[in-house]
Amino acid sequence: PSAKNNLEWISKVRVNTQAVLKRAQQIQGQKILKKQWQAAWLLKAVTCIDLTTLAGDDTPSNVHRLCLKAIQPIRYDLLRKMDMHNKGVSTAAVCVYPSRVADAVKSLKAANSSLPVASVATGFPAGQTPLETRLREVRMAVADGATEIDIVINRTLALTGQWEAMYDEIRQFREACGDAHMKTILAIGELGTFTNVYKASMVAMMAGSDFIKTSTGKEAINATYPVAIVMVRAIRNYFLCSGHKVGFKPAGGIRTAQEALVWLTLIKEELGNDWLCPHLFRLGASSLLADIERQIYHHVTGQYPAYHELPMA
Ligand SMILES: O=C[C@H](O)COP(=O)(O)O
């Protein structure tokens, strides 16, 4: 399915909850890689992070620090010991509120970095502002230099089964994004059922999303493995029907290196190696990098670092 007149089948979709839960458990139960293989996967995870700050007290200076951390996410001497110091290891992007886009763009430019700035938009996190306001927000973030826009879907439309109206809104956001990549946040913690998650995933992809993203990080339930199974199966089916590869971004509450490894395993097993790159996979997280850097420090030195030994940990 690729167009709006194909939306009718959406109402007939059903997801097998037991099968989803079982598959999620299987993936979590898998053996995790050790030693240098683990370190290599952790570095891969770093390159897929959208390093995020989405707080009311964000300022130009903490956004500046975030940008510097995104450019050099792992201490230089640690990368050197792994012979990775000249491989350009950085996070995938920085992610901020629309009002902080200009700060991030300025900091990255001053540091001579071409890292993309992602902005949340469309009345993030609730999406409960007028459509015109939400569209203007997208345009303003793009005008300020954001090249990736993380929109939120209208949960009211999803919960009342108005899939066509939701499709129309997302199409308008797509247009407002212009050349910027669009990641569509489903806020799965507010969608009620796996079936709604699958439907919302499909509608978001049909309306032109480059990525589908689980959560804002502000709902009570954020990125969970069962929901991810539903979303990545939708991505797989959409690819089989349309030939388009849509990316996946789990976000919200992802804090440990161990979790990052499970996410990579899930992507590798469900979507294959093609998806294991920043172009098709992102981890949205504000406090994951600290633990990954800590585990890499342990891999390199055999010891865990004191708090002050890792900047901005
Ligand atoms: O998009 C990213 C999420 O908002 C980050 O959520 P987090 O603060 O729980 O890592």
Q: 61-66 long-range CB contacts below 8 Å, 24 or more apart?
A: 63/94, 63/96, 63/100, 63/103, 63/104, 63/107, 64/103, 64/107, 65/312, 66/94, 66/96, 66/104, 66/312
| CATH number of the domain located at residue range(s) 4-309 in this protein | 3.20.20.70
Give the number of the atom of ligand 1 that is nearest the alpha carbon of residue 285: 10
Is the pLDDT reported for residue 266 higher than 70? yes
Find out whether 129 and 152 touch, Cβ atoms under 8 Å.
Answer: no
Q: How far apart are CA 261 and CA 254, in angstroms?
A: 11
pLDDT digits (tens, 9 = 90+) for 71-84: 999 999 999 999 99
pLDDT digits (tens, 9 = 90+) for 9-24: 888 899 999 999 999 9
Mean pLDDT of the chain: 95
Please state, as a whole number, how many other Cβ atoms lie within 10 Å of the Cβ of residue 233.
Answer: 18
Q: Whose CA is nearest to atom 7 of ligand 1?
A: 252
Catalytic residue ranges = 213, 249
pLDDT at 71: 98
Say what percent of the chain tops pLDDT 90: 91
Q: Whose CA is nearest to atom 1 of ligand 1?
A: 284
Q: What is the largest CA-CA distance in the chain?
A: 59
Pocket test for ligand 1, best of 249, 286, 288, 292 (most atoms within 8 A of CB): 286
Q: How far is the CA of 161 from the centre of ligand 1 (A)?
A: 27
Give the number of the atom of ligand 1 that is nearest the alpha carbon of residue 253: 9
Give the number of the atom of ligand 1 that is nearest the alpha carbon of residue 287: 10
Establish whether the linkage from the previous residue to 278 is cis, with ω within 30° of 0: no
Pocket test for ligand 1, best of 216, 219, 221 (most atoms within 8 A of CB): 216
Is the pLDDT reported for residue 3 higher than 70? no
Q: How far is the CA of 150 from the centre of ligand 1 (A)?
A: 12
Under 8 Å CB-to-CB from 305, ≥6 apart: which residues? 294, 297, 298, 313
pLDDT digits (tens, 9 = 90+) for 271-295: 999 999 999 999 999 999 999 999 9
pLDDT at 310: 85
Band (313; pLDDT cuts 50, 70, 90): low
pLDDT digits (tens, 9 = 90+) for 133-169: 999 999 999 999 999 999 999 999 999 999 999 999 9
Q: How far is the CA of 295 from the centre of ligand 1 (A)?
A: 20
Q: How far apart are CA 13 and CA 24, in angstroms?
A: 20
Band (244; pLDDT cuts 50, 70, 90): very high
Q: How far is the CA of 137 from the centre of ligand 1 (A)?
A: 20
Is the pLDDT reported for residue 297 higher than 60? yes
Average pLDDT estimate for 179-188:
98
| pTM beyond cutoff 0.80 | yes
Q: How far is the CA of 148 from the centre of ligand 1 (A)?
A: 16
Under 8 Å CB-to-CB from 107, ≥6 apart: which residues? 60, 63, 64, 67, 68
Candidate from 28-32, 47-51, 211-215, 257-261 with smallest mean pLDDT: 28-32
Give the number of the atom of ligand 1 that is nearest the alpha carbon of residue 150: 1
Q: Whose CA is nearest to atom 8 of ligand 1?
A: 286
Band (4; pLDDT cuts 50, 70, 90): low
Find out whether 106 and 161 touch, Cβ atoms under 8 Å.
Answer: no
pLDDT: which is higher, 76 or 1: 76
pLDDT at 117: 98
Residue ranges around ligand 1 (CB below 6 Å) = 52, 54, 95, 216-217, 251-254, 284-287
pLDDT at 138: 98
Give the ipTM.
0.95
Band (8; pLDDT cuts 50, 70, 90): confident
